[in-house]
Each structure stands twice: as C-alpha cells, then as structure tokens.
Amino acid sequence: MTEPANNSAPEATPLRRDGNAHYYNQINPPATHFIEQTVAVHLRLSDDGTRWIVDGPSVDGHPLDSTYDDLSATNDECACSQPEECRRRRDYAEALPLPTGAELLAMLAAALDTPAEPMTADQASSWAGRPLTADELDRLSEAIPHSSIPEAIDTIVASWD
C-alpha cells in the first residue's frame, strides 16, 4: 500500500537529514498532520553497577513497545480541521510496525543529523574498495547489527582480557 506523502508547504526552517522538519508546526496553518507514537527503550544498570545500559529486550530484533496505555498511534494534538483525513492517516500509521532497536538507532542519528557510523567513512570505503556515499554508509550502518560483525567484534574484544 502506497500512501501519498503529506503535502508540504515551503519550509521556513531547515530540514533534518531525514527530510523532515525538526518540530511539528501548529502555529501556521499546519502543512502536515501530527500523528504520534512513542517507544520504550528499557535500561538496566550495567553489570559493573556504574551506568545505565540498554537492556537486552530492547535490542532483540523485535519492534520496541509503545508506551501509550492503549499502544495506539494518536492524532489528539493535531491542529488540522480535517478529522476524516486525519483519522485515515492515523489508521495508516497504526498499521506501521514500530522500529526495532537497530532501526531506532538509525532514526535517532537522522533526527540528530549525526551519521550513525560504526567506523569512519574512510575506513568503510577502504574495506569496500571504493568511496561510499552517505546513503551507502547509512545502509551499511543499518546492516551491520544484523551481520556477523558484532560477534566478530565481541570475539576480538574478549580476546584482550
């Protein structure tokens, strides 16, 4: 199912790397609907008791859990005056899977305008045998958590003890 993108008015503020405005604008006539969800990232105290770390269930490859009581997407704070259209967009959003931990990592990097690079672009390009574009580096960053690389790094670091 293909959903047309929200109609965007010319933006007064710069867009983030992921192509979205930093904040929903409900002051001017809103160009988009404000459909919200939240996800829980579970933390636990580190094994050495010194800091918070992300707990296993939040990085097990499954979608993160909504923190909303009814787990549903909401348009309660949308400032539009098109309730039918707004409900349709919310229902569409409701069917989208929530991100996994790895997907959230890429989303946060895009929202922060920070490349989610597990290594330098130069290093990755050197291993790839050719210069990689920013888009290819993003794809690489998303693929690495699902590859054998984390295990290889774990093995290497463990061998230092």
State the residues that interact with Zn ion by CB under 5 A: 33, 78, 80, 86
Q: Which is nearer to Zn ion, 33 or 105 (CB)?
A: 33
Q: For residues 146 and 64, what is the distance between their CA atoms, to the nearest angstrom?
A: 16
DSSP letter for 23, please.
S
Q: For residues 63 and 18, what is the distance between their CA atoms, to the nearest angstrom?
A: 20
- Smallest gap, in angstroms, from Cβ of residue 25 to Zn ion? 12
Residues paired with residue 43 on neighbouring β-strands, in sequence order: 54
Q: Which is nearer to Zn ion, 30 or 57 (CB)?
A: 30
> 10 Å Cβ neighbour count for 22?
11
- Smallest gap, in angstroms, from Cβ of residue 104 to Zn ion? 25
Q: Which is nearer to Zn ion, 54 or 86 (CB)?
A: 86
Q: Which is nearer to Zn ion, 29 or 150 (CB)?
A: 29
- Structure token pair of residue 130: 């050719």
Q: For residues 8 and 30, what is the distance between their CA atoms, to the nearest angstrom?
A: 9
- Structure token pair of residue 43: 């933390």
